[in-house]
Amino acid sequence: MNGSIPSREQAQALLQRLMGFSKAERVQVNVNSSVTANTRFAANQLSTSGSVQDTSVAIQSWFGARHAVTTTNDLSDASLRHAVESSEALAKLAPEDPEDMPLLGPQTYTPVQAFFDSTTNLSPADRAQAAISALGVTRASSDLQAAGFIVTGGSAFALANSAGLFAYHRTTSANYTLTVRTSDGTGSGWAGADHPDWNQLDFKAVSERAIQKARASRNPVAIEPGRYTVILEPQAVGDLVQLLLFYADARSADEGRSPFVKESGGNKIGEKILDQRVSMISDPQNPQLLSQPFDGQGLPLNRREWIKDGVLQQLSYSRFWAKKQGKEPTGGPGSVIMPGGPASLDSMI
């Protein structure tokens, strides 16, 4: 797998070759390369399994404030040249974009080491064996059905432009999700694990958690509608955190159409919006996140507190909106952590 993921030098050479074809006033190019492999199982047996290799490039060309993007995955010189010409032809036809911003020049990024050979060196047999860690238990039982998905991969993303910017990041990923249901159809449990390093995935622990939940949730009883104290596991809280920060765009709030609208005008930055025990932080360097240290435009992403002690610290400012509002552009939240407190799940229950 390693051989198919371009190194920093290979990605830079490809992007330079691509920009060499450009006749636009400004150009920004990127390459996105990945090799992924997966194994899927359901109803206690393997269903599908496969691998995919792909590399595509995107070219954005500008003439004044007119711009357009073309992408292609044919990397021959002739095709790249035509893709560049096509983006230039489209850009010339496109109306002017009044929100167009100058390209970002060279930036400094803190590299994130997120590429693990333990993940790239896997074979289909390794994934099948990992699936058996759950299937072995559920097949041997008389009351359990397993459905799961194991997906691993390596990828690289690089970005360059005619203002001299170059950014490169590569990562591996390993993700395992498992749903175990009881054969009577009344119990179901889900568990998952995710990390760039395959060796960090504990397949047995995931199986045990899903099985325990499936058996514990059998024969549920209906409750009356009303107000209850609800305790959510970390995964369920994480899903809500994602939703919350999906709406963290400053512009939508300033324009009056977001949960973060302040009725008197502007947005709720500086206001207490959640319980004081809640904080949300993005940090590409965090060993649990190891995410890309720049956004799609090449803007560096570093540690940032979005919510601290329940107070909204920051919304996401695009470069255009930041300039218009006299703020610093932030990039999006990306991967986020909500740190916990001292209470254990059992003590909360």
Partner 1 sequence: MTDRRDFLKVAGITTAMLATDGALREAFAKVLRPPPPAGPPMDPAIRDLLMEALNAAKMSGAGYADVRIGRQRQNFVFTREHQIQNVVDTDTMGCGVRALVDGTWGFAATQQLTKDAVAGAAREAVAIAKANRIARDRPVELLPSPSYPDVSWQSAFKVDPWTISVEEKADLLLRANAEALKVANVKFVNSALFLVKDERNFANTEGSVIAQMFIRSFPTLSATAVAPDRSDFQRRSADIAPMGRGWEYVLESDMVGRAGGWAEDAAQKLTAKPVEVGRYDLVLHPSHLWLTIHESIGHPTELDRAMGYEANYAGTSFVAPPDKMLGKLKYGPEFMNIQGDRSQEGAISTIGYDDEGVKPDDFLIIKNGILNDYQTTREQAGWLKWWYDSQGRPTRSHGCSYSQGWGDVQFQRMPNVSLLPGADDHSFDDLIAATDNGIAIEGDGSFSIDQQRYNAQFGGQTFYEIKGGKKVGMLKDVAYQMRTPDFWNSMDMIGGKSSYQMGGSFFDGKGQPGQSNGVSHGAVPARFRQINVINTGRKA
- Closest to partner 1 by CB, 99 or 309: 99
Enumerate helices (H) and strands (E) in the chain, giving the number of each. Answer: 9, 10
Which distant-in-sequence residues (6+ apart) come within 8 Å of 286 by Cβ?
303, 335, 337
- Residue 19 is classified by DSSP as H
Structural element, H or E, at residue 80: helix 77-93
What is the x/- site pattern for partner 1, positions 60-89, by CB under 8 A?
-------xxxxxxxx---xx--xx-xxx-x
Contact call for residue 273 and partner 1 (CB under 8 A): no
Let me know the angle formed at the C-alpha of 328 by 257 and 306, rounded to the nearest 5 degrees. Answer: 60
Contacts (CB under 8 A) with partner 1, residues 216-245: none
- Closest to partner 1 by CB, 52 or 348: 52
Q: At what angle do helices 124-140 and 203-216 cross, to 10 degrees?
A: 30
Query: Exactly one of 7, 16, 45, 242 binds partner 1 (CB under 8 A); which one?
Result: 45
Please report, for residues 13, 153, 191, 208, 258, the alpha-carbon distance to residue 211 in angstroms, rounded to integers and kept in the order given. 50, 27, 9, 5, 40
End-to-end CA distance of the chain: 45
Query: Exactly one of 6, 14, 62, 148 binds partner 1 (CB under 8 A); which one?
Result: 148
Contact call for residue 2 and partner 1 (CB under 8 A): no
Query: Exactly one of 2, 13, 20, 93 binds partner 1 (CB under 8 A); which one?
Result: 93
Which range of residues in 159-167, 252-260, 295-303, 325-333 is near partner 1 by CB under 8 A?
252-260
Please report, for residues 30, 71, 127, 150, the alpha-carbon distance to residue 330 in angstroms, rounded to integers and kept in the order given. 21, 26, 39, 34
- Closest to partner 1 by CB, 126 or 202: 126
Nearest to 150 by CA among 32, 288, 51: 51
Contact call for residue 26 and partner 1 (CB under 8 A): no
- Residue 28 corresponds to which tokens in the numbers above? 């920004």
Q: How far is the CB of 287 from partner 1 (least distance, A)?
A: 26
Contacts (CB under 8 A) with partner 1, residues 102-131: 123-125, 128-129, 131
- Closest to partner 1 by CB, 12 or 38: 38
Query: Exactly one of 3, 95, 226, 339 binds partner 1 (CB under 8 A); which one?
Result: 95
Contacts (CB under 8 A) with partner 1, residues 180-209: 181, 185, 188, 190
Which range of residues in 92-100, 229-237, 268-276, 338-346 is near partner 1 by CB under 8 A?
92-100
The rounded distance, in Å, linking the Cα atoms of 106 and 108 is 7
